Structure 1
Amino acid sequence: ALGTATGKLRKIIMFDLIKQASKNFCFRCGKQIEYIEDLSIDHKEFWLGIDKALFWDLDNIEFYVYNLYNPLKAQGEKLIKIKIGHLRFKLYEALKIHKSQFYTKNMGWQVEAIKERRRERFGLYNMEDAGKYYNF
């Protein structure tokens, strides 16, 4: 309760400071971020598997409109569909082990939906591809 309230207060303060600094524009599309619910933080340059220092580099941080980003559309040419019908219950059981994932946004219903899926989309990337796409 107190931790949740403190986290929300921090986000409100951060969003207010972002607006005061006129940084409330999506670095992907240029659209103004008007509502705190749409604010998301991302890295300009992909850092995972390349350089951990990029994660902490404030010059590598930008903001984007949360509801605008759709990784399935952004990376469509790299997606493949794989039949998972015979594996879906094993996948569901594996995901249940990591209960913390159920508390992330939308993950709970997605894990439950796996029980019904016959196919799933996955991205195929190599290290050269990694820097070409937004964080996923």
Structure 2
Amino acid sequence: MASVQELPLPPELRTQLLARGLRTARDCLHHTATDLCEILDISYGAAQQLLLDVAAQAAPGYITASQLYGLSLADSATQLRTFLPGLDAALRVGVPAGAITELVGPAGVGKSQMAMGLALSAALPRELGGLAATVMYIALQV
């Protein structure tokens, strides 16, 4: 989260925020406009504007669906390929690495085999289509 010193605020307001222990944008955004009026001895309108300014600087910018799709395609290096062309195509390259993915189905359909294949895909060297990652496989039997 951005430091108050990094935010484009008037110097006297920045000094007041730091003097009152509000050091980050998060610190400011944890308060209501009414709280900031009391803490900083400023008008309600000024407190509302401060919150809007801090939120605008701290919040990520917007992204279109098209841009998000482009990023997901560019980020295919973090996808675990299943090496099943139809499934990889349906998943848009593979299963997201670093995410929790639940494999569900009746006994004997290949859930464990799929999980072991994904572990192999993660451990394979990059030149073979893997992620060159360290893998821990834990199988639970219930």
- TM-score, with length taken from structure 2: 0.22
- TM-score, with length taken from structure 1: 0.23
Q: Which has the larger radius of gyration?
A: 2
